[in-house]
Every structure is written in C-alpha cells, then in structure tokens.
Amino acid sequence: MRTTHVQIVMHSHVNNTNRLFGGRLMEWIDVTAASAARRHAAGEVTTATVDALEFIAPVYLNDLLILEAEVTWTGRTSIEVRVQTYSEALNGDQKLVNRAYLLFVAVDEEGKPKPVPPFIPNGIVQQKEWENALLRREYRLKLREECNQLAELQKEHGCRVRL
C-alpha cells in the first residue's frame, strides 16, 4: 500500500534564496513514512533510524511536492519504509528530488518493541528491494555497534558522553 502526502512549498518553508529548508523536507518525509509504518503495524511506531537520505535536486518556493512512502521490509519488530519525493511542474511533469529509507519500530503502550505482521514482497521489484533492505540492515547494525564501541571509548577517556 502506498501512503502519499502532497505539499505546496510556502514562504515559511524556504530560506532567503527561496530554496526549501532540508530539515523541513525531512520532517515531511518522517511523517509520511511513519504513517505508512503505522498503517502496516496497525499500531504505534517510533522512528529508530533514518539513512540513505539523499537530496537529489533543489526544491523552490511554490513547487508542488508529492511524497510517496512504501514499506520495503519487515523484521520481527521493525519496519523499513522508502520515501520518494517528487516536485511537480504546472504541466504535470514530475522530477525525483529526494529518496530516503527510514526504520521504524512498532511499540506497545510502554514504548517497548512489539512484533509486526510480515511484509511479503510481491514481484521482482519488491523482491530486489527486500534483498537490498537486508544489506541496509546489516550495515545499520554494524554502525550501531561501532557507535556504541566509540561511546564506550569516549567514556573511558573522560569525554562528555552518557550511555
């Protein structure tokens, strides 16, 4: 199932050169992706990681943006969502301006991870994306481990870090 969000870029969304703030687009991406993950989980989710977030082309004042989110992979309690953002010209031509993958975790009333229904890929494209998602997961878990090891080292050497 695809979850879509449509947004016109207004004055409050741009900097003084009329370009959209990256952080504003990230907020819309997070909300659209969370909506897709919530629909899949049929319950509350929380954002765990955002990666592969790529600003491909600039977005300007008065552009029409279309954000399309789809679930690409599920683990036991986690759900990966891809968001592709397009800008649409007045003649209807669309251009890809951003692509991002976000990982959500389904949570219970106490905020603890809870199992999600499996996502079953349908067709060769979804199957390929599922396989790519496994590579992203491996990379994320390795990165998390390395960041934790670094934090331990910082702690040992008196750097300001709390675990």
Ligand X SMILES: CC(C)(COP(=O)(O)OP(=O)(O)OC[C@H]1O[C@@H](n2cnc3c(N)ncnc32)[C@H](O)[C@@H]1OP(=O)(O)O)[C@@H](O)C(=O)NCCC(=O)NCCS
Where do contacts with ligand X occur on this chain (CB under 6 A)? 46-49, 75-78, 103, 105, 107, 111, 113, 140-141, 144
Neighbours of 31 (CB within 10 A): 15
E-assigned strand segments in 75-155: 78-88, 94-106
DSSP state letter for 110: T
| Residue 19 or 38 having the CB closest to ligand X | 38
3-state helix vs strand vs coil in the chain, percent to 5 = 35, 35, 30
| Residue 47 or 84 having the CB closest to ligand X | 47
Q: How far is the CB of 136 from ligand X (least distance, A)?
A: 9
The CB-nearest residue to ligand X is 75
| Residue 14 or 102 having the CB closest to ligand X | 102
Q: How far is the CB of 104 from ligand X (least distance, A)?
A: 8
Tell me which amino acid residue 22 is: G
